[in-house]
A and B are shown apart, each in its own frame.
Chain A
Amino acid sequence: MEKNVAIKVENVSKKYCKSLKRSMMYGVNDIARNTLGMGSHGEKLRKDEFWAVKDVSFEVKKGETLGIIGSNGSGKTTMLKLLNGIFWPDKGKLSVRGRVGALIAVGAGFHPMLTGRENIYVNGAILGMNKKEVDEKFDEIVEFADIGDFLDTPVKFYSSGMLVRLGFAVAVNVQPDILLIDEVLAVGDLSFQNKSLRRLAELRDKANAVVFVSHNLEHVRNLCDKVILLDRGKIMFAGKTVKGIEEYHRLTRKKKMISVKNKKGFRSPLHSSSGDINFGTVGLLDERGTKTGKIEAGKPLTAFFEFETFRGIEELYFTVGIRDERNYNCILQTSNYAGKNRFRNVSKGKHRLIVKFSTPNLVPGLYFPIIAARNAVTNETYEKNFNLKPFLIEGDGASRGIVLTGSKWKLDKIGLKGRKRE
């Protein structure tokens, strides 16, 4: 391994077993094979096994912070456990330079019957500190944890906050060369969180390399030099953080789209019809008028609604809206405004309504069109359908909220000028 590389992962794969009984069987089998000096044919999947991490390669140089992002079950934590040496790869090779410290599960290894003082020593030892280190760091740990008089009380009488604080205090006082962090930042109240963040910044400065796993993309964006995006154990993207987060959003939207499409039987409450009209295919049209499922953020949005009328309708109007995932109506417009866009004498048969929103400016995400068709004279409702095929608005992940907009920022100091003049 080159001198400037802190972590090197080469084609690493790790498999898990879904069935408990089989897992037991395979475990004993593997032990027997190894005992007899045989390899453990790790490259093959046995029944009920699957790849939790598959063929992953990356490198972290000294001084770099790597983020690992991905949805639940994508293999992030497994990857971290592999780097930590808790799990061993089934295929491939993984090398780390120096002492590895992990903020994975703070407080694991605490014994409820032991006092805070005793647990600090035991936990310190488990985390790889020697006696001298714990002795030196002891006061700092106690102060950081802020447990006051409870130092000599069994930790089973601690509040959950105290327990977590103590666990964190011990963990952040180990000084590793390679620091692994798994979603531990949201611990305690605001002041403890800030204290922890400051301490983590110190640790990161001293460490050779940091690997950071989090669902909090803001943290990832701020802390990481580069990211890898995992999905079902495979690397989908490796590179610049900003680009990686965009890819992550893109992937999440795509997955949501698929899961919404596959969901069955949620039609009824969101759909009511008089039987005079029935809506069929719904979607978007691109600039050339061809059907599409997604558009770029900031571009005009053209939606079409195909429907069939079962009798002639003398005066029809529509209400069309766009809802986001939180069910908020981002756009809601009715065609019948000031007497405009009332469609007269709609004959029996198939029709297509096209609505063009010229400046929708919605942030990237998954959106659901909704529509209602009503009689403009009697105001009776023919069809209300809130359950139509969703579509995607694609773009970078920088904007959140509802409205997409550019922004310019400026910081001024105020109040001083006026005083000077006096």
Chain B
Amino acid sequence: MPEAVKTYQPDNSLRKGYFSIFREIVDEIVENRWLTWQLFKRDFLTIYKQSFIGVLWAFIIPLVSVGTFVLLNQSGIFVFGEIGIPYPIYAVLGMAFWQLFSTGLIASSNSLAKARTMITKINFSKKSLVIASMGQALVSFLIQFGLVVALFAFYGIAPSPLVALVPILIIPILFFTLGLGFILSLLNGIVRDVGNMLSVLITFLMFLTPILYAKPTEGLLAVLTVYNPLYYLAAAPRDIVLMNRVSEIGGFVASSILAVAVFILCLIIFHLTETRVAERV
């Protein structure tokens, strides 16, 4: 068997050209899929360990935030807008899609910083580490989706048959999140302020994006929502479940294209610059 020669030299990938390295990236990801799976399993197995109620936390956290909004609404402080279905279903479902972004982004941006000792001692695919961290978001998503099913049963409503399309419709938001996660994990690995800033920013973004309330029709927020890709990416799978159609298909397609572009660009940047992180993480 011929043994491959691996060469390390400064700006290795840069020399090869900006876009021709894409092949290299894909090969690395494919080659390391078992590692990614193992890392994912590790995150998944440890996330709720040393905890008595364990996985129940995945239910409690969204229920509390949704509960808060229900309470605010009943006191007349907060108005959802016209929804047309029981609010808890609307909100929990929306939250399930939203947290793919929020949980995913926080997990992935912390992935390199958390694995500091490993990165400085073992040479393994850092892309696997970032990709695997998205698993946390997927697992909480599945659990929360279970909660949604329970809510449908409770209210005696059936979701639309197009619910089967959900796995496809969440792909764009996953790409978007993972793409940003790649860049932020690197930056957070070097400068920890990035992670702290992100937690604040994500809460802010959640209120800015119509997830727990209907899309506003007037005012500054209405204008912002038109240009908010996160809104389209999270709303499309929700609309499919609730209304059997994607209400703003144009926005969704445009946002999906944007998401894939962000993903590819960020992945290339990550590949070009990941060699910098081990010595500074």
Contacts and interface: CB of A to CB of B under 8 A. Distances in A.
Contact of A27 (B3, B46, B191): B191
A96 B190 contact: no
B122 A85 contact: no
B38 A91 contact: no
Interface stretch (A105-113, A372-380, A400-408): A105-113
A31 B187 contact: yes
Among B8, B186, B269, the one with the most A-chain Cβ atoms within 10 Å of its Cβ is: B8
B9 interface: yes
B278 to A, nearest CB: 5
A130 B120 CA distance: 22
Given A31-B269, A98-B4, 16 more contacts: A1-B5, A24-B191, A34-B14, A40-B10, A85-B123, A86-B278, A88-B12, A93-B9, A97-B6, A100-B6, A102-B123, A113-B46, A126-B118, A126-B122, A127-B122, A208-B3
Contact of B46 (A42, A111, A208): A111
B50 to A, nearest CB: 6
27 contacts: A27-B191, A27-B276, A27-B277, A31-B269, A34-B276, A35-B273, A37-B14, A42-B10, A82-B8, A86-B120, A86-B278, A90-B10, A97-B6, A108-B121, A109-B121, A111-B46, A114-B46, A118-B45, A122-B38, A122-B39, A125-B38, A125-B39, A126-B35, A126-B118, A130-B34, A131-B34, A154-B49
B82 interface: no
A31 B41 contact: no
B273 A113 contact: no
Contacts of A88: 8-10, 12, 275-276
Interface in A26-50: 26-28, 30-31, 34-35, 37, 39-40, 42
B218 interface: no
For the complex of A and B, the 8 pairs showing the least CB-CB separation, nearest first, are A98-B3, A27-B190, A125-B38, A105-B121, A88-B275, A108-B121, A27-B280, A93-B9
A224 interface: no
B276 to A, nearest CB: 5
A184 to B, nearest CB: 12
B29 interface: no
A89 B10 CA distance: 6
Interface residues of B, number: 44
B5 A122 contact: no
Interface of A: 1, 16-17, 23-24, 26-28, 30-31, 34-35, 37, 39-40, 42, 81-82, 84-100, 102, 104-105, 108-109, 111, 113-114, 118, 121-122, 125-128, 130-131, 154, 177, 208
A128 B5 CA distance: 16
Contact of A113 (B3, B9, B49): B49
Contacts of A89: 8-10
Contacts of A177: 3
A24 B279 CA distance: 10
Contacts of A154: 49
A114 B42 contact: yes
Contacts of A114: 42, 45-46
Contacts, number: 142
B158 to A, nearest CB: 40
B7 interface: yes
Nearest to B276: A30
B121 to A, nearest CB: 4
A43 B167 CA distance: 49
B276 A97 contact: no
B27 interface: no
B7 A39 contact: no
A17 B99 CA distance: 38
A96 B5 contact: yes
B230 to A, nearest CB: 23
Interface in B243-272: 269, 272
A235 B159 CA distance: 71
Contacts of A86: 119-123, 278
Contact of B122 (A94, A96, A109): A109
A126 B9 contact: no
A102 B46 CA distance: 27
A111 B42 contact: yes
B278 A87 contact: yes
A87 B279 contact: yes
A109 B34 CA distance: 16
A100 B6 CA distance: 10
Nearest to B5: A97
A82 B46 CA distance: 32
B57 interface: no
A31 B182 CA distance: 13
Contacts of B35: 125-126
B65 interface: no
Nearest to A131: B34
Contacts of B118: 108-109, 126
Interface string B85-128: 00000000000000000000000000000010111111110000
A39 B4 contact: no
A90 B9 CA distance: 7
A95 B7 contact: yes
Interface in B208-241: none
Contacts of B42: 111, 114, 118, 122
A26 B10 CA distance: 15
B51 to A, nearest CB: 10
B22 interface: no
A218 to B, nearest CB: 26
Contacts of B121: 86, 104-105, 108-109
Contacts of B78: none
A93 B280 contact: no
A124 B276 CA distance: 25
A114 B279 CA distance: 28
Contacts of B24: none
A84 B6 CA distance: 10
B18 A96 contact: no
Nearest to B48: A113
A52 to B, nearest CB: 9
Contacts of A85: 6, 8, 123
Contacts of B7: 93-95
